[in-house]
A and B are shown apart, each in its own frame.
Chain A
Amino acid sequence: MRDNPGPAVMAEALVKTYPGDVRALDGLSLAVQPGEVFGLLGPNGAGKSTTIKILTTLARPDSGTATVAGHDVLRAPDRVRRVIGVVAQRSGADPTASGRDNLTLQGRLYGMSGSALRKRVADLLDRFGLTEAAGRAVKTYSGGMQRRLDIALGLVHRPQVLFLDEPTTGLDPEARAAMWAEIARLAADDALAVVLTTHYLDEADRLAARLAIVDSGRIVAEGEPEVLKGELRGDAVHLTLRQAAGTGVLALLGDLPGVRETTVDGVTVSARADDGAAAVPGILAALDRAGVPVAAVTVARPSLDDVYLRYTGRRFDAEKTGAKTGEQTVEVAA
């Protein structure tokens, strides 16, 4: 079963609409190869979790098809369930039961028993640093310990594909770093494909061998993080204006030699330049002549944030806070 030559996950043209005409997925397609860590990156509400729900047989798409380890999620959900491990956003561990009891029950649900199960549970407790706390109720665990237990729960039955839905959301920096190390270790297992969703750019950059950027229910870019960044050709120049500017800025900067792909989002103006440092004086002079005061300038090597900007036309951070966009529209109107 493990030498299945096809992709670990294949989704084609998934569409999912929720009541109230909310289109969560709008023709999403993706492929994940066996043994790779695949990142789904996008802001909240982009469709990442809906994708995971469909691939893990929890939700049904309105249309489109998907297979996991060669099994169709709609026609053979039970076969899919046997070969996947799921670490959802909400833990799902029983808080009054001990870590060991949670793991043991999980193994039993997948048909494991006896000494093989006991050994597997002991190995996982050991590997995730939970041996000492194994007999304690899960509600006494720290956030990081609970999350490690969640991953152990997803691995008990040795799945071929592990789904991690926002595994580090809500963790403190130390616990997040530990979780990253853990996920990196999972990546070393050639038999295991990992599908990871995140709304942290640095997390996707660091962990995913390949990633897809999800925007409004579809994939807008897909590839290795380095390749995606390389496609941007040149440095990113970000300017923060003292007040929101209209689209007039676009024409102003578009005329400058060596400056490309200018976008404006409220007080933030972004552009791309072959040599960022050399382009800055020209940009500042042009804005100064037009009477647009600048508060700050940064020049950086391309980041995933820039990749996101290029494919969606919006900056990633502005998306997450949500309210910001509305605020800026008001400013422009005033």
Chain B
Amino acid sequence: MKTSAESEYVEFVTHHADRLCRTAYLLCGDWRRAEDATQEALIRLYRVWPRIQRKGGIGAYARKVVVSTTLDGLRPRSSREVVGGSTYFTATADPDDRIALAESRLVIVRALAQLPPRQRACVVLRYFDELSVDETAAALGCRPGTVKSQTTRALERLRAELAPSTLSDFAGHGG
């Protein structure tokens, strides 16, 4: 890679790595895994950087790689490893103490953990990264209609999970 292109890559990483890592965290619920996934995604990005630079849409491509790397990391590597599900997500609060949970920032993460990975990705990309339906579909490699339906289902489940909290008004807006 040329020096100028490499400098731009470094600049991109410096400014976007943290945000990409946060997206990864919401997808996997573990900071260490999120950092590993982000780092892996950035290495993959390096290899295709000159081509992506020419085509444009670096941010969207980087986010797409982070999502796929993170979701790949959630797949069990062997029949003995169990990942995903609520037990996978880090939680410091006592799960029986609903008041403590409601007050904890982890409550949303725990709720996300109940969602299937695709639905979780739809919610994170739509409402954390504030992507449009089309942009989310591009990042996930699926149709916009799928994003809408997955998001609607995800919001319904989140509302059920978070019923005692104040998140009662965001269900039913998958589109």
Q: Do A and B come from one complex?
A: no
Residue numbers of A with Cβ under 8 A of B are: none
